[in-house]
Amino acid sequence: AGFINFIGDASVARSMAGGATSLQGGLQTYCVAPVIDGASDNSVGFWAVGIDCCDGDGKFTCDDSANAAAKNGFVLRNASDGDPFFDTVGWHFVSPAYRWDRMLEAIEVAEALHDVKSSEHPVFVRWTTKSQEELESDAWTRIAVTLALGFVTLLGVAVALTMVALRYADLEGVWKRVSGGFAVARNVPTDPDMDLVNFVGQGLMTPRTRQHASGKEIWITVFLFPFVLFVSCILIWSFVRNHLLLALFQASACSMLLVFCLTPSKFGYGLFMTIIIAVGASVGDDNFENNLQLYFAVDRHQSYINVDPEANVTKYMDAGQLVFADSAYLSTETSVGFQVQGTTYCAAPVLGNSTTPDRVEFWAVGTDCCDARGGFRCDDAGSDAKKGVVVRTQHL
């Protein structure tokens, strides 16, 4: 879940906060406070968190925690999930609010100061009065502003670097021709000033000779570098699910392409590199969608066994793999196919003992593997399989 609306008398225990400060954490104070209600025991599953908003007396003042009307929580993801480089360099680039490792240290402080105990898998939330729609609107606004500022900055840097490179090339050519004029003028004994002027003028009027690249340079620029860039794009878009690292790579690639495209002599090479990156990203993303997505869904999420097909699906929102109870079966004859632009999207209900359930919670899905009504034959639909991998709408 990304957004939670708490009910009843749930609130933040502002007087039971814990704070942790460390050099590796950037000297910020990581603050946590338990979310409790009248029926809560000492085991706390939800914690309100914030940065630099608590004191040594255990007073929590983060976000809207002081507002009695606040009942919403924005769930913070664990920045280390799916990031193999988090423990080495990744933590340097993560916003403090997503440092679960430091939040867990703050929980230990709260447990030591107050008579509370955290659950084994706590959920961290930002306590707020805003609705999910308002939070999404704010997030899109921040993203749009960040992208706009980033684009303007990259464009300015690219233009500046291009102008510097062109100016350097011009000055280098002039210097070479002037140096040649000096070399000849040095051997003229009469009127050296006029001779120098004449020789320099002749040097400036001499057409530039085109510098031909060596075989090694051609091999590197035409074959090796494009190949390495292409393979890197495939690997990054296939395996890197950390949005920050992906954004850094994209920003670097865009800067490089802008420099190439704004340099007249490198414009064609810039277009070639643009095609290489676009094709590599497309192949990598397609590889993730078709081959790696199910693996990551199982590897990075919970697995549940003996799942009742009539159970409320909200209990399994963090699931990656489900093993249904023996009574579950796939109703292939009641499947439905919906065709859009030549692709048939198929769905069949997973049912249990009840022949006419009030609501179907779990569906088996696929593409181009069913009829308009019935005939569901996706994956292992024809077997007695009881397992399912959760298909997600986002790369979570």
Domain boundaries, the chain: 3-130, 131-211, 214-295, 302-389
- The strands making up 302-307's β-sheet, listed across from edge to edge, are 302-307, 319-324, 387-389
Q: Are 30 and 19 in contact (CB under 8 A)?
A: yes
User: CA angle 170-202-174, nearest 5°?
Assistant: 15
Q: State the pLDDT confidence band at 396, using cuts at 50, 70 and 90.
A: very low
Residue ranges of alpha helices (H) inside 119-242 are: 132-185, 192-205, 215-218, 225-239
Answer yes or no: pTM beyond 0.95. no
Question: pLDDT confidence of 25, banded at 50, 70, 90?
Answer: low
Give the mean pLDDT of 2-23: 84
pLDDT band for position 170 (cuts 50, 70, 90):
confident
State the amino acid at position 58 in one-letter form.
G
* pLDDT, tens digit, 9 for 90 and up, residues 77-130: 887 776 777 777 777 777 788 888 888 888 988 888 888 888 888 899 999 998
Beta-bridged to residue 34, according to DSSP, are 47
- Mean local confidence (pLDDT), 248-255: 81
Given a cut of 70, is residue 212 above it in pLDDT? no
Average pLDDT over residues 247-266: 80
DSSP E strands in 311-384: the ranges are 319-324, 329-330, 336-340, 343-351, 363-367
Confidence of residue 241 (pLDDT cuts 50, 70, 90): low
Q: Given this model, what pLDDT does residue 339 score? A: 86
Confidence band of 316 (pLDDT split at 50, 70, 90): confident
Please check the confidence at residue 393 and state whether its pLDDT lies above 60: yes
What's the pLDDT at 377? 92
β-strand partners of 126: 74
Predicted local confidence at residue 369, as pLDDT: 93
pLDDT of residue 213: 59
**Predicted pLDDT at 200:** 53
Structure tokens at 393: 């709408």
Per DSSP, helices labelled H in 4-63 are none
pLDDT at 159 over 90: no
**Could you tell me the pLDDT band of residue 160, with boundaries at 50, 70 and 90?**
confident
